[in-house]
Amino acid sequence: MNILILGANGFIGSHLSEAILAQTDWHIHAMDLTQDKLENCVNNPRFHLTLGDITEKKAWIREHVQKCDVVLPLVAVATPATYVQDPLRVFELDFEANLDIVRLCVEFNKRIVFPSTSEVYGMCPDKEFDEEKSHLVTGPISKERWIYSTSKQMMDRVIYAYGKHKGLSYSLFRPFNWYGPRLDNPFNTKPGGSRVLSQFIGNILRGENINLVDGGAQQRCMTYISDGIEALMRIIANKDNSAHNRIFNIGNPNENISVRQLAEMLIANITAHYPKYAANAQKVELVDIDAKTYYGEGYQDVSLRVPAIKHAREQLAWQPTVDIKTGLRKTLDFYLS
């Protein structure tokens, strides 16, 4: 197969590219603004990278949608602080830019594998979120953090409609807090400038206190990147049409921990296993801060986010295998060893 990956230098894109090159004979045609996470891919003769912006290189994208078998538009803004600080950028990239790509897949009859998000469930009251039954519940318009969720949800609905009414072949996958090496740059000192795990690692390395928004009581199911990529590989391969026109939660419901517990585990791990940074880790205190102070007026959070993964188990024969202790050690080894 020929696979088109837009956003190949991102967290998911770089790990997926490595897996494809290592496990298959597929060719990858890729685009991103930079290539710093792709050092293990760029010299492979089956990896064809073009540097560029998907909102500008429209002729290139049109040509490569035509020549590829499966299209993965992985370009998105996915940092919560940006949802509040620059919501229009989130909408323009996550919805508008991706809508053009979806329409090309319809025009050229190409299969699309699209990254939805666990955020589409919003403040759903279910104890676990089901892809086909759970309601998608978001807050008022003034809470701008929901522009990411609703942009992704609208893409899901458009793709579903194109599948039902225009014959588009698609698979949607919803990552639940995937983490691991290359997630974000932990040395980014801007508060909220990266996702929670890499933000906390950076705080600890600098000996800074960790701000826990609303006390860090929010619970998240942490899913190690290798588990997520294994599911994604099975979705792309689509053996026996197992993933055809389906939606999959991809998460680890067994590793449901609070944000406060995550911070405590990171501090304990760094103190115990990474002597170079132990002194700084011991300085760190956990400080409660309210969401309005940290993110601004437009933020609203979710207390619980647990995936039902029955469909992934049954259709993909997949389930997560990496526990949180192992995953955190692998992640810290990457950044600190």
Residue 9 is which amino acid?
Answer: N
Find out whether 247 and 316 touch, Cβ atoms under 8 Å. no
Q: Among 113, 219, 217, which Cα is nearest to 173's?
A: 113
Find out whether 307 and 116 touch, Cβ atoms under 8 Å. no
Find out whether 251 and 222 touch, Cβ atoms under 8 Å. no
- Residue 79 φ/ψ, nearest 5 degrees: -115, 125
Alpha helices in the chain (DSSP H): 11-23, 58-67, 80-85, 87-91, 98-107, 146-166, 196-205, 225-237, 259-273, 275-283, 291-295, 310-316, 324-336
Residue 64 is which amino acid?
Answer: H
Q: Print burial letters for 207-220: b (CB count within 10 Å at least 16), e (below 16).
A: ebebbbbbebebbb
Query: What is the radius of gyration, based on Cα positions, of the chain?
Result: 19
- Which residues, including other chains, have CB under 8 Å from residue 141's CB and lie 6 or more apart? none
Q: How many CB atoms within 10 Å of residue 331?
A: 23
The H-or-E segment that residue 43 falls in is none
CA distance to 6, 144, 155, 196, 296, per residue, from 80 (Å)? 21, 10, 19, 9, 11
Distance CA 250, CA 246 (A): 12
Most distant CA pair in the chain: distance in Å? 60
Residue 287 is which amino acid?
Answer: V
**pLDDT, position 195:** 84
Q: What is the pLDDT along the chain (337 residues), one digit of tens a residue?
A: 999 999 999 999 999 999 999 999 999 999 999 999 999 999 999 999 999 999 999 999 999 999 999 999 999 998 888 999 999 999 999 999 999 999 999 999 999 999 999 999 999 999 999 999 999 999 999 999 999 999 999 999 999 999 999 999 999 999 999 999 999 888 776 655 568 899 999 999 999 999 998 899 999 999 999 999 999 999 999 999 999 999 999 999 999 999 999 999 999 999 999 999 999 999 999 999 988 888 888 888 888 999 999 999 999 999 999 999 999 999 999 999 8
Question: Would you list the DSSP string of 62-120?
Answer: HHHHHH-SEEEE------HHHHHH-HHHHHIIIIIIHHHHHHHHHHTT-EEEEE--GGG
